[in-house]
Structure 1
Amino acid sequence: MLKKINEHKMFFSFVSDFLFLHLKDHEHKSNNTVVAYRQGLNSFREFTKEVYGKGVDKLTFELVTPDMVREYLKWLIEKKGSTITTRNHRLTAIKQYLQYCSDRDISLAPQYIKISKIKHVTVRSNKRNWMTRDAIRVILEQPPKTKIGIRDRFFMIFLYGTGARVSEALNVRLKDLEIATKDPFVRLLGKGNKPRCVPLLDITVENLDYYLSVYHPNGSPGDYLFYTVIKGTKDSMSVANAERFIKKYGEAARRACSQVPENVYPHLFRHSYGAHLYRMGFSLPVIAKLLGHESLETTEIYAHTDAEMINEAFRKVEESLQSQNSLKLKEKKWKLADEETLAKLYGLK
């Protein structure tokens, strides 16, 4: 018979081990994945502190019930304005954390089982989550003919020409490029630190050569392909910087072309790459491999991306018919610290 949950066991007591020993060292998850889980658990901490007055040193496992978690998910949507996708990610963080905790302490297993039954909300893909070729062309015409403009334009060409996630593109170093071969390609490091090779289109290679002559005339293999220089220090470009200029060019392009979406962001180039490959006749398994998708279900969104494609399929069917998808001591010591300090000590910050 399982023993009763320890009433004095702090809910966040396993966070540090979960993030750095389990996810990082044992599961070999990427830094971005570890950060995402930490943000999710920290969000739950903010909720319990704000709504229940229970900070890191007050929230015990016994207090975390399925009803509390459901209330937290509702709080995310109604109070924080989070999307359904974010809501689902936060729920996954709690479930995965509790699963790890139950492995460490068997008395927590019943609690994990109950909370694991809380369902994720189905996210319906937008009718148009990709851009037309005309929209992309107009966006690429927006950067000025300056050094910064050359960088910005090529960055967008690279995203569209490789289908890379923005984080993958920003992590590319010169040594990851193989362009002096018959079939040029780039090595990308995807989710879970899984590498993949993506062929480079002729137009991408042509623009890459020019970009390298401007930004890497004497580049070292270890240099980041895309970088910024702040106070004399060269480092990889930030995601926020990429999002900022892409949004700016998108807004400018929309004034010239109604096909440009109201909100243009880096991942939209990735979706466009996948959608256009599908329309060109590439199979879903091939597209999944190029995009680094672990499951074909993720890739299937490109099989029904717009009304035009659906209507075309129906026309073909019709024509065919006509002719024939262990921290107790630390807990006691930390009770005197403030909430932010406690959060850092538990690995939440």
Structure 2
Amino acid sequence: MSEHLLLAPLLESYFRRRLTKQRNATPATVASYRDALRMLIIFAATRLAKKPAALALEDLDRDLVLAFLDELEEKRKNVIATRNARLAAIRSFFHHVAAADPASFGVAQRVLTIPIKRAHIEVTHHLTKAEVDALIAAPDQRTSRGRRDRTFLLFLARTGARVSEATGVNANDLQLERPHPQVLLRGKGRRDRVVPIAKDLARALTSLLSERGIAHHEPRAIFVGARNERLTRFGATHIVRRAATEAVPTRPALADKPISPHIFRHSLAMKLLQSGVDLLTIQAWLGHAQVATTHRYAAADVEMMRNGLEKAGVTGAHGVRFRPNDSVLQLLNSI
């Protein structure tokens, strides 16, 4: 087998040159694409009974990639959005392969024909104010872990930050001494933004920094795990789910809701919308690249739609239904 078909040099040039130097991809993007390709290679090695280092590019053909994507959904129970995110990473790599190694163009082109799978767009779930308050109050304030958990939950609820933004915040990103406190969030695609900090969150953050002995100007992580390392996405999810378990006895409805760090973001967006904040302001607050993404919250607010019907004077009385008398129209109407 020719050397140009080996995976190692193509992977190295992809991550070191294409993603890092040419695309200037963020560390989060590099990590996400690395994990997707690692999963694909492990799947291929297991399926073909080869060591990962012995795999050639032609081993990663279209059929194998499709089998990998099917396993993500069927065995790992990944949602379609996650499946598509993995496919995006694989397609990015094979775009590089097609450009860097013309001899492999045929293999790459067949993989690139795999389409993105259409997903059902579900209703955006959110929590009521009482449910958010119950989650925030759930951690035990008598322990350092409980105080950290409450501050983290409060941060998610008051800022609407993505989990990666919340865990990535350092002490020097906070401006707590201003008359109106605020925080710098480093968003997706290097889209940084500044959002206001509520008074209760400012007090909790000040107390947490004091407890951990961190000065406001230090570039140190605010939220850390048991080993004093920056909190991970897994750790953040665990905090939220633990709080949900403790809050269910007081708020039983939480048991039937998809509780995750992201639901705080949805809940804040809905609260802002219901309070009369315009979509463009909510878009800027949440860091959405397009207002269409923010618009889904308006589509999810049934109560606002119901109020709209009342203001429009729509009574709900049924009018006379059109009944076609033409045979062709009657046929189409019956289908």
Note closer, same or farther for the CA distance 1:68–1:236 as it changes in structure 2 (3 Å cut): closer
Aligned to 1:97: 93
Match of 1:87 among 83, 89, 94: 83
CA contact (8 A) 2:279 2:295 kept: yes
| 3-state DSSP of counterpart to 1:24 | helix
Note closer, same or farther for the CA distance 1:312–1:68 as it changes in structure 2 (3 Å cut): farther
CA contact (8 A) 1:129 1:271 kept: yes
Aligned to 1:166: 163
Q: Post-superposition shift, 1:106?
A: 3.2
CA contact (8 A) 1:186 1:200 kept: yes
Partners of 1:111 and 1:281 in 2: how far apart?
53
Partners of 1:154 and 1:48 in 2: how far apart?
43
Partners of 2:174 and 2:232 in 1: how far apart?
20
Q: Post-superposition shift, 1:135?
A: 0.7
1:258 equivalent in alignment to 2:252? yes
CA contact (8 A) 2:240 2:260 kept: yes
Q: Post-superposition shift, 1:145?
A: 2.3
Q: What code does the residue aligned with 2:243 have?
A: Y
| 3-state DSSP of counterpart to 2:229 | strand
| 3-state DSSP of counterpart to 2:52 | coil
1:178 equivalent in alignment to 2:172? no
Aligned to 2:117: 121
Partners of 2:105 and 2:298 in 1: how far apart?
40
CA contact (8 A) 2:225 2:235 kept: no
Note closer, same or farther for the CA distance 1:81–1:319 as it changes in structure 2 (3 Å cut): closer
Q: Post-superposition shift, 1:143?
A: 1.3
Unaligned runs of 5+ in 1: 323-349
CA contact (8 A) 1:254 1:262 kept: no
Partners of 2:83 and 2:163 in 1: how far apart?
22
Aligned to 2:24: 28
| 3-state DSSP of counterpart to 1:236 | coil
Q: What code does the residue aligned with 1:277 have?
A: L
User: TM-score, normalized by length of structure 2?
Assistant: 0.82
Match of 1:312 among 302, 307, 314: 307
Q: Determine what percentage of the aligned residue pairs are the same residue.
A: 27
**Which has the bigger relative contact order, CA under 8 A and spacing at least 6?**
1
Aligned to 2:141: 145
Q: What code does the residue aligned with 1:153 have?
A: R
1:288 equivalent in alignment to 2:286? no
Which aligned pairs between 1:263-342 and structure 2 lie closer than 5 A? 263-319=258-314
Q: Which range moves more in the overlay, 151-160 or 75-84?
A: 75-84
| 3-state DSSP of counterpart to 1:259 | helix
| Count of equivalent residues | 315
Q: Which range moves more in the overlay, 81-90 or 203-212?
A: 203-212
Q: Deviations over 1:296-316 (max 9, x none)?
A: 343333222243344334444
Note closer, same or farther for the CA distance 1:317–1:43 as it changes in structure 2 (3 Å cut): farther
Aligned to 2:184: 187
Q: Post-superposition shift, 1:97?
A: 0.5
Tell me the C-alpha RMSD between the 2 structures.
2.9
Partners of 2:55 and 2:224 in 1: how far apart?
43
Q: Post-superposition shift, 1:11?
A: 4.1
| 3-state DSSP of counterpart to 1:282 | coil
Q: Post-superposition shift, 1:140?
A: 1.4
1:74 equivalent in alignment to 2:70? yes
Q: Post-superposition shift, 1:128?
A: 4.3
| 3-state DSSP of counterpart to 1:235 | coil
Partners of 2:247 and 2:276 in 1: how far apart?
29
Q: Which range moves more in the overlay, 115-124 or 98-107?
A: 115-124
Note closer, same or farther for the CA distance 1:39–1:205 as it changes in structure 2 (3 Å cut): same
Q: Post-superposition shift, 1:262?
A: 4.2
Q: Deviations over 1:152-211 (max 9, x none)?
A: 111111111111122211221221111222332101112233321112223322433343
Note closer, same or farther for the CA distance 1:46–1:227 as it changes in structure 2 (3 Å cut): closer
1:239 equivalent in alignment to 2:239? no
CA contact (8 A) 2:124 2:266 kept: no
Q: Post-superposition shift, 1:252?
A: 1.7
Aligned to 2:320: none
Note closer, same or farther for the CA distance 1:219–1:278 as it changes in structure 2 (3 Å cut): closer
Q: Which range moves more in the overlay, 203-212 or 170-179?
A: 203-212
